[in-house]
Amino acid sequence: MSDVQYRDTLPGGTHWSFLARQGTTLELTDVEGGGNVGMIFYNPANPLERLNLPDTLKCQHTFKLTAGHCLYSDMGRIFCSITADSVGWHDASSGTCNAGIVAEKWGSSSYQEARNNFYRNGRDCFLVELGKYGLGRRDMAANVNWFSRVDVTEDGNMALAAGHSAPGANLTLRFEMDTLVLMHTCPHPLDASPEYPRKPIAYALGVAPPVAADDPCRLSREENGRGFQNNALYLLGTDASVSLGASS
Amino acid sequence: MMRESPRAVEDAYRVEVVGAGDYWLQEARAGETLRITDLKGNQAVDTLFFNADHPHERYSAFDTVREQRNLYLTAGTTLVSDEGSPMLDIVGDTCGRHDTLGGACAGESNTVRYALEKKTMHSCRDSWLLAVNTHTRWGLTKRDLTHNINFFMNVPVTPAGGLTFEDGISAPGKYVELTARMNVLVMISNCPQLNNPCNGYNPTPIELAVWSR
């Protein structure tokens, strides 16, 4: 278990970002149930390295994300592992809502009228957070939607599962390299709620013990073992450096 | 959905064969139609589209599948951009299903998927990086390399949430045809992947044909 050092809650329909150092954890809790968290990762040392969900899904032969899975960059490295998950299925294939989707579903809601309850959308949230680091739309990548599940039929038809995430549902990410975390709490793009959903998400930051040789994420697939080897090479010479095992 | 095209290759203004491991970078004007033919069968064609007039606007795989509420691309699919604008329509398809979830191969992802020593094998991302750094007029860089289409590749999702890589459902002579709805830049990597059944472990040439409107 990680040693939690910081707790905060993001109201529904808001956004934030932070630097998660290698060896720290992020626990997300869907306080009321039915929440959604859009999330993307970047390497702060080279933001051209970013979350790559196609690589993440294909190397683990999975469509859903849950405990034991790792989230990969386009450079073959692991940003973070999912070390705990009470939900069992998180969506990685629907992208995020944009202004058009939100207006079509829930109408317009300006800041002038609604103040901080105005209807934010995921794409604009990501653009704001990207801008804080000198990044922009060209740096956008497909995002995860934590707490949301999208089922696919044999013919490929996609549908958002209703009532998927229960109150108090939670998951924990353990960062395997320094990672810029961009997140928002806007609705899933397939959410059909009659009102703009505004679900708060609690999050906690902590420090994880070193990754053990028999760590379940490392061992869940051979591919992840090689991903951890790539990270070990990347971390060579840092405080997190481990032996790469080469003999002279 | 299978849909045969009424177009004849003899009427195309451009017909080119692209070998496995090569890239193809060309503009197509709004209203023009592009056909990609899998000459030998079981070839993955990794493809990206950009707005030729404003190249920061680009194909968005996940917006495309979500907007059509279906994971697979075929005749009737509209490819949409990151701004939600229609870029091209798939107007013909004799293969029936194309992937846009599986991304492209790269040396780095090869290390994870297959073996650490596979990192120097030729890959789609190498082809794209060479393409954008050779043809600089559009100002594209690695920043612009986003999630692509894999024409002729079959990546079915299981009901339990698994992802499988099936032998291609394509065959010699199968094609997919797209009509542009804006001026587009087409960037294709004819996939050189040797480690995956999606290419039948034997990457082969494709044919590209373009018809004026």
| A125 beta partners | none
Note whether A142 contacts B84, CB cutoff 8 Å.
no
The half-sphere exposure of B32 on its side-chain side, counting CA atoms within 13 A, is: 21
In angstroms, the Cα distances linking A108 to A61, A185, A186, A195, B83 are 40, 18, 15, 12, 18
| Of residues B84, B104, B163, nearest to A98 (C-beta) | B84
Is the pLDDT at B200 greater than 80, yes or no? no
Q: Which residue of B has its CA nearest to A143?
A: B62
Residue labelled with tokens 């490295």: A77
Question: Among A185, A181, A206, which Cα is nearest to A197's?
Answer: A185
Note whether B109 contacts A76, CB cutoff 8 Å.
yes
Is the pLDDT at B46 greater than 70, yes or no? yes
Is the pLDDT at B167 greater than 90, yes or no? no
Distance separating alpha carbons of residues B106 and B115, to the nearest angstrom:
13
Share of chain B above pLDDT 70, in %: 100
Is the pLDDT at B190 greater than 80, yes or no? yes
Chain B residues inside the 8 Å CB shell of A155: 70, 72
Distance separating alpha carbons of residues A188 and A197, to the nearest angstrom:
9
- Cα Rg for chain A, rounded, in angstroms? 18
Min Cα distance B102 → chain A (Å) is 5
For chain A, how are helix, strand and coil distributed in percent, rounded to 5? Answer: 20, 30, 50
Whether residue B15 contacts residue B45, with contact meaning beta carbons closer than 8 Å, is answered with no
| A183 beta partners | A16, A39
Is the pLDDT at B182 greater than 70, yes or no? yes
Min Cα distance A192 → chain B (Å) is 13
A135-156 pLDDT, tens digit per residue, is 999 999 999 999 999 999 999 9
Residue labelled with tokens 């195309």: B12
Is the pLDDT at A1 greater than 70, yes or no? no
Q: Which residue of B has its CA nearest to A89?
A: B161
pLDDT at site A242? 85
Interface test with B, best of A63, A137, A145, A229 (most B CBs within 10 A): A63
pLDDT at site B77? 98
What is the mean predicted confidence (pLDDT) over B169-189?
A: 97
Min Cα distance B99 → chain A (Å) is 11
Note whether A226 contacts B165, CB cutoff 8 Å.
no
- Residues belonging to chain B with any Cβ–Cβ distance to chain A shorter than 8 Å: 56, 60-63, 65-66, 69-72, 82, 84, 97, 101-104, 106-113, 115-116, 119, 125, 142-144, 146-147, 155-159, 161-165
Distance separating alpha carbons of residues A142 and A50, to the nearest angstrom:
10
In angstroms, the Cα distances linking B210 to B36, B184, B213 are 9, 13, 10
A69-112 pLDDT, tens digit per residue, is 999 999 999 999 999 999 999 999 999 999 999 999 999 899 99
pLDDT at site A2? 73
Note whether A59 contacts B72, CB cutoff 8 Å.
no
Interface test with A, best of B109, B114, B149 (most A CBs within 10 A): B109
Residue A169 CB contacts under 8 Å (≥ 6 apart), including other chains: A29, A30, A33, A35, A86, A87, A147
Helical segments of chain A, H only: 53-59, 99-106, 111-114, 122-131, 216-219, 222-234
In angstroms, the Cα distances linking B64 to A29, B36, B87, B204 are 30, 20, 10, 28
Question: Among B205, B180, B149, B178, which Cα is nearest to B16's?
Answer: B205
What is the mean predicted confidence (pLDDT) over B98-113?
A: 96
Q: Tell me the pLDDT band of B166, cut-offs 50, 70 and 90.
A: confident
What is the mean predicted confidence (pLDDT) over A208-230?
A: 96
Chain B residues inside the 8 Å CB shell of A89: 161
Chain B residues inside the 8 Å CB shell of A61: 162-165
Is the pLDDT at B147 greater than 70, yes or no? yes
Q: What is the dihedral of CA A217, A221, A226, A229, to 10 degrees?
A: 20
Is the pLDDT at B165 greater than 90, yes or no? no
What is the mean predicted confidence (pLDDT) over A10-37?
A: 98
Q: Which residue of A has its CA nearest to B100?
A: A54
Q: Which residue of B has its CA nearest to A96?
A: B63
What is the mean predicted confidence (pLDDT) over B23-32?
A: 98
Q: Tell me the pLDDT band of B194, cut-offs 50, 70 and 90.
A: very high
